[in-house]
Amino acid sequence: MLFRIDGRIAAIVGSGSGIGAAVARGAAAQGATVVCLDIDGAAAAATAASIGGAASAARLDICDAPAVAEAFARAARTHGRLDIVVCTPSINIRKPILEYTAEEFDRVISVNLKGSFNVVQAAGRIMTAQGSGSIIVFSSIRSQVVEPGQSVYAASKAGVVQLVRAAAAEFGAYGVRVNAVGPGIVDTPLTSQIKRDPSWYRAYAEKSVLKRWASPEEIVGPTLFLASDAASYVTGTLLMADGGWTAVDGRFTPPGMDRNHERS
Give the residue numbers annotated as catalytic, written as ranges.
153
Pair 64, 78: CB distance under 8 Å: no
DSSP 134: E
Q: How far is CA 104 from the centre of its chain?
A: 22
What is the rounded distance in angstroms from the CA atom of residue 59 to the CA atom of residue 74? 13
DSSP string, 49-67: HHH-TT-EEEE--TT-HHH
Residues in contact with 262: Cβ distance below 8 Å, sequence separation at least 6, in sequence order: none
In our burial notation (b when 16+ CB lie closer than 10 A, e otherwise), range 119-131 reads bbebbbebbbeee
Distance between CA atoms of residues 113 and 231, nearest Å? 25
- What is the C-alpha separation between 93 and 193, in angstroms, rounded? 11
* Helices and strands: H and E segment counts in the chain: 9, 7
The alpha carbon dihedral of 115, 175, 181, 11 has a sign of negative
As a whole number of Å, the CA-based R_g of the chain is 19
Q: SS3 of 197, please?
A: coil
Residues 187, 216: contact at Cβ < 8 Å?
yes
- Is the dihedral angle over the CA atoms 169, 78, 217, 15 positive or is it negative? negative
